Structure 1
Amino acid sequence: MSCADIEFSREGQIAQVRLNRPSKLNAITDQMEQALQEAWLEINRDDSIVCVILSGAGDRAFCVGADISGAHGETGVGFGGGLTGIGGPLLALNKPLIAAVQGYCLGGGFELAMCADIIVAADSAVFGLPETNIGVIDHCGVVHRAVRRLPVSIAMGMILAGERLSATDAVRHGLVNDLVPCSEMLEAASRWAERVASCSPGANRAAKAATYRGLEMSLPLALASRYPEIDAFNSERIAPSSSGG
């Protein structure tokens, strides 16, 4: 990995991507963006990886967004290595992604967590959108994902009034799948990853692609549509072996 502030490793079929800048609450720099993009592209290419855990180092924060103390966004890479599609092209991850969130999860960091398919939160997690509170707003993806992942009234309270969401309320509103003590968070995320990895990797990839594509449609259209990822998976699954006769 080209940046020490991003750790990329794997154990068997499960990849680990870790924001490693705890002294700055894991705020993301341009160098980190490029390293994250390298990680996501490698994960997409490597069929032996079937699931990914994204986490942040330290106890104080998962991520507080972009590091605005210096130049940021000059690489042309979307925030989070392209995963969010903010400030650059959207990079779609084709493997299930689990976010392990502790402490502050704010702004772009909240956006990055919402890119995950499954969120495991420590009881210390606090979710927030401080942009309008501090007078900063751009073509901000957090407003669009938040109203899709949360009840609209809850999301708008966060967007317009800077209200923060506790880990307990995040579970209650369906944002978080699992709430655990901070000391157990990574272990809980690993358990989720193992459950995902025990399922069919090809079926999971096809299901993820079809699910998010269908969310962009009305329900009748989603039900009536065909999804190329599912067709491709089913074709491979039923294809006769080369030695068959």
Structure 2
Amino acid sequence: MPSNLLVQPPADGVRLITLHRPQALNALSTELLAELATELDAAERDEHTRAVIITGSRKAFAAGADVNEMAERDLVGILNDPRVSHWQRIAAFSKPLIAAVNGYALGGGCELVMCADIVIAGSDARFGQPEINLGIIPGAGGTQRLLRAVGKPLAMQMVLSGEAIDARHALQAGLVSEVTEPELTVERALQVARAIAAKAPLAVRLAKEALLKAQDTDLATGLRFERHAFTLLAGTADRNEGIRAFQEKRPARFLGQ
């Protein structure tokens, strides 16, 4: 069992993972990242898991990397940092990933948020990349994903000044999809996740991949992938079930086939 996570098994197709290092504001230690990557690997393989939510506490989603752990590493330790592979596994998760964020999401916490596909933020959430204050820069995708999410001017301001932004600013900038009251953040994320989990799993996975293609490739390449995915889904049992359910005015029963 993980020691830095609280994991609820899938219910209605949704697995809830809670970061749980309250003594350190959920700072992302190597051990926590390894546990999270392992849980996501398990969710990837589990046919009963159709969406995953990651959340933290009311005070902090994750306040950053574990600075005390960082202080113990020399150059060799940094060059051979095992966290790199953990981050790669987290970023490669192919099922829908939702972040439910209250409080601080700083440094690695903000980078973890940006690995999610959908971000529901409490009105008290704060997002930032304060690494510059330690004489370093973001090292888990912070410079790359932040610029793609919020644009060059705001990304430059956040990374170079180390200043955080609040939830409303994050919503306006496109870093989060929705802002709610802090006590409702997880419940709203569960509502969204359950709605996604009720959809055809193959279509959801390919839709996510197609949207990511739009972010990472040129338009022509993205359109080719979209058309290919559309054609593949046309031959699935879920597509036939979806059409029949619509015609018969009943909820569809998707089986992932």
The offset of 1:135, in angstroms, is: 1.0
| Equivalent residue number for residue 22 of structure 1 | 22
The gaps in structure 1 that reach 5 residues or longer are 241-245
| Equivalent residue number for residue 59 of structure 2 | 60
- Asked if 1:78 corresponds to 2:77, the answer is no
| Equivalent residue number for residue 248 of structure 2 | none
Partners of 1:201 and 1:167 in 2: CA distance: 31
Does the residue aligned with 1:223 lie in a helix, a strand or coil?
helix
| Equivalent residue number for residue 101 of structure 1 | 101
Q: 1:16 to 1:145 in 2, by over 3 A?
A: same
Partners of 2:135 and 2:67 in 1: CA distance: 14
The gaps in structure 2 that reach 5 residues or longer are 241-257
1:41-190 equivalence runs, <5 A = 41-57=41-57, 59-70=58-69, 76-78=82-84, 81-82=86-87, 85=88, 91-137=91-137, 139-190=139-190
TM-score of the aligned structures, taking structure 1 as reference length: 0.85
Q: 1:178 to 1:139 in 2, by over 3 A?
A: closer
Partners of 1:143 and 1:22 in 2: CA distance: 27
Q: Deviations over 1:138-162 (max 9, x none)?
A: 6551000000011221111101112
- Asked if 1:5 corresponds to 2:4, the answer is yes
Q: 1:159 to 1:148 in 2, by over 3 A?
A: same
2:44–2:93 contact (8 Å) kept in structure 1: yes
1:78–1:90 contact (8 Å) kept in structure 2: no
2:8–2:17 contact (8 Å) kept in structure 1: yes
Instruction: Count residues with an aligned counterpart.
Output: 232
Q: 1:92 to 1:235 in 2, by over 3 A?
A: farther
The offset of 1:237, in angstroms, is: 3.6
Partners of 2:207 and 2:163 in 1: CA distance: 34
Partners of 1:230 and 1:47 in 2: CA distance: 22
Q: What is the aligned-residue RMSD (CA, Å)?
A: 2.5
The offset of 1:235, in angstroms, is: 4.1
Query: What fraction of aligned residue pairs are identical, expressed as a percent?
Result: 32
1:210–1:230 contact (8 Å) kept in structure 2: no
Does the residue aligned with 1:131 lie in a helix, a strand or coil?
helix
Higher helix share: 2
1:105–1:128 contact (8 Å) kept in structure 2: yes
What is the letter of the counterpart of residue 4 of structure 1?
S
Partners of 1:120 and 1:225 in 2: CA distance: 28
What is the letter of the counterpart of residue 61 of structure 1?
A
